[in-house]
Chains A and B, each alone.
Chain A
Amino acid sequence: KAGVTQTPRYLIKTRGQQVTLSCSPISGHRSVSWYQQTPGQGLQFLFEYFSETQRNKGNFPGRFSGRQFSNSRSEMNVSTLELGDSALYLCASSGGPSGANVLTFGAGSRLTVL
């Protein structure tokens, strides 16, 4: 059974550019959530999607957006990149037999903004 797959794994952008990250959840999981991980800050919740609808949103500016497709795959987009957006972006899926709350994380997309 394939795990949570995130692409790309690494990327480098410059300030002002935009970036799109992709996440394919575990088959059968309908919930996908996104977290930003930075040193010292831990994991900060960005948003969560369930059946193509955003159910929850964290305290991030509107430059951060996301969506979910009918096959449960999700994308997040960051526009007008800033240096502070450099981070590991983790996607997690849930909703399998382990329980609705149990998060399974992908390997992450490491974004560097120069």
Chain B
Amino acid sequence: GENVEQHPSTLSVQEGDSAVIKCTYSDSASNYFPWYKQELGKRPQLIIDIRSNVGEKKDQRIAVTLNKTAKHFSLHITETQPEDSAVYFCAATQTGNQFYFGTGTSLTVIP
């Protein structure tokens, strides 16, 4: 089955700096890659996603890039703010709704 690895597990940045979280996947058949943000005590919420026919997608301060050849995808957050502090999960799926999640990155934005 699919195996998703996520790095780093923890990340601290100064407010206003950029944050980058990287994930690799093993199954070349995976074709949908979402990112979820989970604030403390809250449910995971989709923040951005990318499909395998696209190399990059942006939504305001958030962007995701996908390299199908290398089988990795990354989340980029620019101009970080304290409210960006949360745990971020990447995921990969081929079909249906069996998602394989990374183990999460705890992001702390220091004011």
Contacts and interface: CB of A to CB of B under 8 A. Distances in A.
A101 B98 contact: no
Interface residues of A, number: 26
Contacts of A31: 96-97
A48 B97 CA distance: 7
A102 B89 contact: no
Given A42-B103, A43-B101, A90 B43 contact: yes
Interface stretch (A14-22, A67-75, A76-84, A104-112): A104-112
A103 B46 contact: yes
A57 to B, nearest CB: 8
Nearest to A94: B97
Given A101-B32, A105-B43, A107-B43, A42 B97 contact: no
A56 B98 contact: yes
A60 B44 CA distance: 22
A42 B23 CA distance: 13
Interface in A25-50: 31, 33, 35, 40-45, 48, 50
B97 A101 contact: yes
Given A42-B89, A101-B32, A102-B34, A48 B98 contact: yes
B45 interface: yes
Given A43-B89, A101-B32, A106 B44 contact: no
Interface of B: 6, 32, 34, 36, 42-46, 49, 89, 91, 93, 96-104
18 contacts: A33-B97, A33-B98, A40-B103, A41-B103, A42-B89, A42-B101, A42-B103, A43-B99, A48-B97, A48-B98, A50-B97, A56-B98, A58-B98, A90-B43, A92-B97, A101-B93, A104-B46, A105-B44
